[in-house]
Amino acid sequence: MMKIVIIEDQPWLDYSSLALYMKCPRAYYWRIIKGITSALGKAPLINGEAYHTAIATFHKSRMAEKPFEESIILATDKLYPIMSKITEEDPKRNISVAIDTITYYLHFWRDEPYVTTDAEIGFAIDLDGFIFIGKIDRRAIHEAFGKVIFETKTSSIVGKKWDLRTNPNLQVTSYVAADYILTGVMPWGGVLDVIPLHADTSKLKSTHKPFRLLAPRGLQDIDDWVDSTTRWWKKIEMDRNDGVFPQNTESCHPLTSFSCDYSTLCSMHPHPYRDGEIELPGDYIVERWMPYEELLKKEKEEK
């Protein structure tokens, strides 16, 4: 397995920051360059962290050959300390809904045709002048397909509206490519594993059942991803060197339940590069987004 040495403060990109830039370069500027984020509305991020941690715990427990029901208990136990970080009221994102949803999800896929080989695999791969960072949720083996890469998403969007999301398969391609570059073994492809959320958990068995989207990939997809990601990085570097990250005004208008976290900041600072010190309203905080720090910590622990 190829491993690179991570150097603090080296140029980096991950799927989330790339998706943010693709949506609006100005939003990328606020979040990645200035480190500014909303102090409100953290429930979706915390909820996602809780679900991912619980599911990884379940799969690691099953890999250790612990019983199914015991593994569910271990998984749900992981939810409490993380979900307790949610301070706002959110009918779809609270401990009660999380326990019911996770339990139903794990039972729903109990007889799935996939055997987990690893979970929560942090990685950094060296591309053209920068590292691409991420965490693969799960590797598994399918008796017909062979190795597959899982990417799990929680979502309050179901049905046809899912197609309106920002190319969720891009993340699947990213992690399939990363796995191939790391291991030298080409996966069959990816599985986008979606867990719908609803305040009324009775809908889990009707309109909000878990579902999966299969995404087969080939070597050409890997080459295309590397080329595309490198091109996007060069665009980001051009904006950084020019000192101007343009605003995509189309994303300023909420559509299909999506909205921008930075509309207030953009209104206050239409030309932030010339405004000198940025005045932050009370609902914003400075909080660095540095995903490589977790990998640095792991490297130090392994030494």
Higher pLDDT, 164 or 122: 122
> Residue 219 pLDDT more than 60?
yes
Confidence of residue 287 (pLDDT cuts 50, 70, 90): confident
Confidence of residue 128 (pLDDT cuts 50, 70, 90): confident
- 8 A C-beta contact, residue 134 and residue 178: yes
d(CA 144, CA 104): 26
The pLDDT value recorded for residue 103 is 96
Across the range 207-220, mean pLDDT stands at 90
Listed range (124-138, 152-166, 198-212, 264-278) with the worst mean pLDDT: 152-166
* Domain residue ranges in the chain: 1-29+115-244
12 Cβ contact list (under 8 Å, min separation 6):
124, 130, 131, 132, 133, 290, 291, 292
**What's the gap between Cα 207 and its chain centre?**
24
| Bridge partners of residue 194, in order along the sequence | 153, 211
The overall average pLDDT reported for the chain is 87
Q: Quick: pLDDT tens for 7-24.
A: 667 889 999 999 999 989
pTM beyond 0.85: the answer is yes
d(CA 239, CA 33): 11
Across the range 59-67, mean pLDDT stands at 97
Rounded to the nearest 5 degrees, what angle is found at the Cα of 302, between the Cα atoms of 15 and 62?
70
- 8 A C-beta contact, residue 130 and residue 233: yes
Confidence of residue 253 (pLDDT cuts 50, 70, 90): low
Name the burial class of residue 142, with classes exposed (0-12), middle (13-18) and buried (19+) by CB atoms within 10 angstroms of its CB: middle
Handedness of CA 179, 303, 52, 40 (dihedral sign): negative
Helix (H, G, I), strand (E, B) or coil at 138: strand
Listed range (28-37, 44-53, 250-259) with the worst mean pLDDT: 250-259
The pLDDT value recorded for residue 165 is 52
Across the range 256-277, mean pLDDT stands at 78
- 8 A C-beta contact, residue 32 and residue 23: no
Across the range 88-108, mean pLDDT stands at 94
Across the range 88-101, mean pLDDT stands at 93
The pLDDT value recorded for residue 299 is 56
CB environment 107-135: b (16+ within 10 A), e (fewer): eeeeeeebebeebebebbbeeeebbbbbb
Higher pLDDT, 204 or 98: 98
